[in-house]
Amino acid sequence: MFCEIDSLIDRMNESGGEGIPFLFIVDYELKRAFFSSFPFKNCEVRWHIGDSGNYPPLRHHPPISLEPVTFPSEEEYAEAFAVIRKGLLRGDSFLANLTSATRVECSALEDLFMAATAPYRLLIPDEFVCFSPESFIKISDNGIISTYPMKGTIKADIPNAYENLLTNYKELSEHYTIVDLLRNDLGMVASDVHVERFRYFEKIETANGPIYQTSSHISGQLPPGWQSRLGEIVVRVLPAGSICGAPKASTLKLIRNAEKSERGWYTGVFGFFDGKSLDSAVMIRCIQRHSDGLFYFHSGGGITVNSDVSEEYSELLDKVYLTV
C-alpha cells in the first residue's frame, strides 16, 4: 500500500528483522512511498527484479507504440543548464544531474512493462512504468552492501566509441566524482567501504541502437542486526547519488532551482527483500503521467564545468528510448 516515508521505514525495519519478503518504492523527493509484504500476489504494482517478480517478461509481446511528441526545446534546456553552470562556478556543486521531460504517446504502459527486458522493471498501472538498467544497492545475506553507480554514455555505433568514452576528460571527471560520493554515502551505514571495480563498460541494446555505459562497483560491511534497520539504511543514502550529484545537499538545492518541477517517481528507487538479501534499482528510463494527464519520458545527464550545453542537450534527446 502507499504510505508516508516514516511508515515505510518502520515497515521495512520490522519485516527485515522478521525475515518477511517485501517490495518497496520511494520517489525522488521522499514524499511518496509504497510497501507490500509478500508482494508476489499484489496487483497494485507490477514488478520484476532479477529472477523475482509478480510478472515475468513476455517471450512474444504485442507491437509497442512509443512516439516522442514534444521534446524540451534547446532554449528551455539552455536556461536550466545556465542555472546549473552558475552554481558550479560558484562552488555549490562539482557535478549536478540535470533532467527534463519529453512528452510521448504510448499505446499502454502495461504493454511497455511486459515487453521490456531491462533487469529492473516496475509498473504502477495508469501512472508510471520503469525499465531500468541501473542497480541502486544490493545487500547480501552476510551483510555486504554494494552499489553500482552508472555514469558515462555514448552510442556504440560511433567510430571508436569505446576509446572516446574511455578517454573523455569530462566523463572521467564525472565518474570519479560520483564514485567518491557513493563511497561516502555507503560510509554512513557500513564499514570497510572500498571500490571493488572502477569504470567497467556495459553494452545496452535499445530501440535506437546499442549504447555503451560505464559503471563502478563499491562495497562495504553492514553491522550485525542490519536486517532490522533496513528502512533506515536505504533511506539514509537517498536520493541515489548517481542522479543528483556532489556535494549532495547543496546540489539538490541547485537541481530544484534549475528543474523548477518535481521529478516524482522518476529517479526514485524500488527494491525487493527476499527475507535474506535485498536488491534495488534507480528508477531511470521511465514514463510517468503528469498532472496534465499526459505521459512524459524523463531523461538527463551529469553536468560539470567542462560540459557543453549543445552536447548535453543532444545526450538528453539520445536517452529518450525504450529498452526492448
CA atoms within 13 A of residue 188's CA, in its CB half-sphere: 12
Type of residue found at 134 = E
Least confident of 37-41, 116-120, 212-216, 291-295: 212-216
Scanning 148-274, the segments in alpha helix (DSSP H) are 161-167, 169-187, 230-236, 248-259
Model confidence pLDDT, tens digit, residues 107-129: 788 888 888 878 899 999 989 99
Burial (0-12, 13-18, 19+ Cβ within 10 Å), 140: middle
Q: What are the backbone angles phi and psi of residue 37, rounded to the nearest 5°? A: -80, 150
Q: Does position 263 have pLDDT exceeding 50, yes or no?
A: yes
- Residue pair 101/241 in contact (Cβ under 8 Å)? The answer is no
Q: List 264's β-bridge partners, or say none.
A: none
pLDDT of the residue at 71: 87
Scanning 223-264, the segments in alpha helix (DSSP H) are 230-236, 248-259
Type of residue found at 265 = W
Confidence grade of residue 260 (pLDDT, cut at 50, 70, 90): confident
The domain limits of the chain are: 2-318
- The model carries a pTM of 0.89
Confidence grade of residue 172 (pLDDT, cut at 50, 70, 90): confident
Furthest CA-CA distance within the chain? 53
Buried b (16+ CB within 10 A) or exposed e, 28-58: bbeebbbbbbebeeeeebbbbbeeebbbebe
State the CB neighbour count (10 A cutoff) for residue 155.
16
pLDDT of the residue at 323: 43
For residues 106 and 7, give the distance between their C-alpha atoms in angstroms, rounded to a whole number: 34
- Residue pair 227/19 in contact (Cβ under 8 Å)? The answer is yes
User: Per mean pLDDT, which of 5-14, 94-103, 287-296 is the most reliable?
Assistant: 5-14
Model confidence pLDDT, tens digit, residues 173-183: 778 888 999 99
For residues 249 and 232, give the distance between their C-alpha atoms in angstroms, rounded to a whole number: 18
**pLDDT, mean of residues 66-72:** 79
CATH, domain 2-318, list 3.40.50.300, 3.60.120.10, 3.30.360.10, 3.40.50.620: 3.60.120.10
- Residue pair 321/207 in contact (Cβ under 8 Å)? The answer is yes
More confident residue, 67 or 45: 45
Whether omega before 239 lies within 30 degrees of 0, making that bond cis, reads: yes
Whether omega before 247 lies within 30 degrees of 0, making that bond cis, reads: yes
For residues 308 and 306, give the distance between their C-alpha atoms in angstroms, rounded to a whole number: 7
pLDDT of the residue at 324: 40
